[in-house]
């Protein structure tokens, strides 16, 4: 019997604001950070790692929230967790006192993601499998049992989800073999950060093309004229056939978003991302109707499955951009993958930051093998930040994520990096 014995929580902050990496219309100076947890077990050789991603100040709040949840996790037996895959997630989201602070949103939900994902890291490590493959090997009933179905039945029921997953069982082996051989399609967000000057943008575009990328994303939203100038520059660099996505990071109101996209339509954008408030389901629906055939993408700030349910029911999005730490961990990611498949909307996860790429590659590959069964319109975001700090960094080549082979979720930060960038007492900060 292997039980969870204790949590070691670290507030890790990388000083990315110094280079304006990651700068956009809403977030001018992020310090990419992780509220990072090692879940230790009675087996000294087995720990699980989870984290939530933040952009600096306030990371300590997520760390404190992880500590507040500790009594729900410590003492649990891994076999019992594997027999009831939703047990930890439900214990955390149903803690009635802590639930008041959300519910299922904000700091407590970000902390939930860290602990829930650490659970899955533990299970997959123990099984000696990368998480995507561990998940894809589960029976449909087991996958569905991981989901908290409360508030979803008007869109999808557990029985319908099992039936849908059953139709995907044939072909699992072939799709898994395909991913191991060919990887998963991706796009890159390293060229168009708002803080970069034109020379740097041009240079990054050329580098991206040389590396084999065929889809690129740029930031817009501070000044429309400047957006158009930079978008033309990038379109000019990448030519007419590659995909160019635009990301407004929530800055517009609904009507101004429609007007701006109509201007930016000149550069043939593939999608507009976060055109307005992430809470505005109806606003996204109006924007989508007005700007078709340009796609509407959102989701990195969609905080739970009920928000995704509505985005899908309202026909508000063409692309669902799940985040590996904004949703309450793997269990809720599964819920959203099932909902998206039910509504036939492709999932193109949000990534970048600290280890978000490492998280979402697992989810997209699981989605392909066991849930949607499709690569149609699907790509994972890639940004070239901080992978060198990871024990098992993503491998990306020729514009594709290569299937992870290391056991677990793969979000362990290198111990020396944790020491150096721990806030405020690590070597870099003190």
Active site residues: 219, 350
The residue among 175 and 301 lying less far from its own copies, judged by its C-beta, is 301
Cα–Cα–Cα angle for 56, 204, 234, nearest 5°? 105
Q: How far apart are CA 426 and CA 171, in angstroms?
A: 48
Q: Which of 294, 307, 333, 351 binds its own copies (CB under 8 A)?
A: 307
> Distance of CA 86 to CAs 103, 116, 191, 262, 379, Å?
18, 9, 39, 44, 28
Q: Are the C-beta atoms of residues 185 and 375 closer than 8 Å to each other?
A: yes
Interaction mask 5-34, its own copies, x per CB under 8 A: ---------------------xxxxxx---
| Residue 279 lies near its own copies (rule: CB under 8 A) | yes
Interaction mask 51-90, its own copies, x per CB under 8 A: ---xxxxx-xxx-xx--x----------------------
The residue among 28 and 212 lying less far from its own copies, judged by its C-beta, is 28
The residue among 7 and 152 lying less far from its own copies, judged by its C-beta, is 152
Interaction mask 233-252, its own copies, x per CB under 8 A: -----------------x--
The residue among 151 and 232 lying less far from its own copies, judged by its C-beta, is 151
Q: Which of 306, 375, 391, 395 binds its own copies (CB under 8 A)?
A: 306
Interaction mask 86-105, its own copies, x per CB under 8 A: ---------xxxxxxxxxxx
The residue among 57 and 262 lying less far from its own copies, judged by its C-beta, is 57
Characterise 57 by phi-psi region: left (phi > 0), alpha (psi -120 to 50), beta (else).
Answer: beta
Interaction mask 148-187, its own copies, x per CB under 8 A: --xxxxx---------------------------------
Q: What are phi and psi of 349, to 5 degrees?
A: -65, 150
| Residue 110 lies near its own copies (rule: CB under 8 A) | yes
Q: How far apart are CA 151 and CA 168, in angstroms?
A: 25
Contacts of 80 (CB under 8 A, 6+ apart): 87
Q: Which of 20, 224, 290, 314 binds its own copies (CB under 8 A)?
A: 314
Q: What sign does the dihedral 53-55-59-62 (CA atoms) show?
A: negative
Q: Which of 11, 38, 247, 280 binds its own copies (CB under 8 A)?
A: 280
* Cis omega (within 30 of 0) for bond into 350: no
Residue 220, both tokens:
């817009």
Inter-axis angle of helices 254-264 and 224-238, nearest 10: 40
Q: Which of 341, 295, 304 is nearest to 322 (CA)?
A: 304
Using DSSP's 3-state secondary structure scheme, residue 226 falls into: helix
Using DSSP's 3-state secondary structure scheme, residue 172 falls into: helix
The residue among 43 and 95 lying less far from its own copies, judged by its C-beta, is 95
| Residue 304 lies near its own copies (rule: CB under 8 A) | yes
Q: Which of 195, 256, 315, 377 binds its own copies (CB under 8 A)?
A: 256
Which residue ranges make up the site for its own copies (CB under 8 A)? 26-31, 54-58, 60-62, 64-65, 68, 95-110, 150-154, 250, 253-256, 276-283, 286, 301, 303-304, 306-307, 309-310, 313-314
């Amino acid at each position: 019997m292997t039980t969870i014995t204790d949590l070691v929580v670290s507030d890790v902050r990388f000083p990315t604001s110094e280079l304006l990496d990651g700068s956009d219309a809403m977030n001018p100076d992020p310090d990419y950070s992780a509220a990072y947890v090692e879940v230790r077990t009675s087996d000294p050789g087995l720990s699980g790692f989870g984290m939530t991603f933040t952009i600096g100040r306030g990371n300590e709040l997520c760390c404190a929230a992880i500590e507040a949840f500790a009594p729900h996790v410590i003492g649990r037996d891994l076999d019992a967790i594997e027999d009831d895959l939703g047990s930890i997630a439900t214990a955390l989201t149903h803690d009635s006192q802590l639930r008041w602070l959300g519910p299922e949103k904000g700091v407590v939900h970000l902390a939930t993601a860290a602990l829930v994902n650490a659970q899955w890291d533990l299970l997959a490590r123990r099984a000696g499998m990368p998480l995507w493959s561990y998940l894809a090997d589960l029976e449909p009933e087991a996958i569905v049992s991981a989901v908290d179905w409360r508030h979803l039945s008007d869109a999808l029921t557990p029985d319908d989800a099992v039936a849908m997953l059953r139709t995907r069982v044939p072909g699992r082996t072939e799709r898994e073999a395909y991913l191991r051989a060919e990887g998963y399609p991706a796009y890159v967000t390293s060229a168009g950060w708002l803080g970069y000057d034109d020379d740097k943008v041009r240079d990054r575009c050329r580098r991206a093309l040389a590396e084999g990328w065929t889809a690129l994303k740029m930031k817009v939203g501070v000044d429309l004229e400047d957006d158009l100038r930079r978008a033309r520059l990038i379109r000019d660099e990448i030519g007419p056939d590659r995909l160019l996505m635009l990301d407004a990071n929530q800055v517009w109101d609904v009507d101004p978003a429609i007007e701006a996209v109509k201007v930016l339509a000149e550069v043939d954008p593939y999608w507009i991302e976060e055109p307005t408030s992430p809470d505005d389901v109806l606003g996204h629906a109006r924007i989508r109707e007005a700007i078709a055939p340009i796609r509407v993408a959102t989701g990195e700030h969609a905080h739970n499955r009920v928000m995704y349910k509505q985005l899908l029911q309202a026909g508000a999005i063409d692309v669902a951009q799940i985040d590996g730490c904004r949703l309450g961990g793997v269990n809720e990611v599964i819920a959203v993958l099932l909902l998206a498949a039910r509504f036939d909307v492709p999932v193109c996860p949000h990534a970048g930051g600290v280890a978000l790429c490492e998280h979402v590659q697992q989810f997209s590959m699981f989605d392909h093998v066991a849930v949607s069964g499709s690569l149609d319109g699907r790509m994972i975001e890639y940004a070239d930040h901080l992978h060198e700090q990871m024990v098992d960094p993503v491998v990306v080549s020729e514009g594709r994520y290569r299937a992870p082979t290391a056991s677990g979720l793969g979000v362990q930060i290198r111990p020396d990096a944790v020491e150096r960038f721990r806030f405020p007492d690590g070597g870099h900060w003190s």
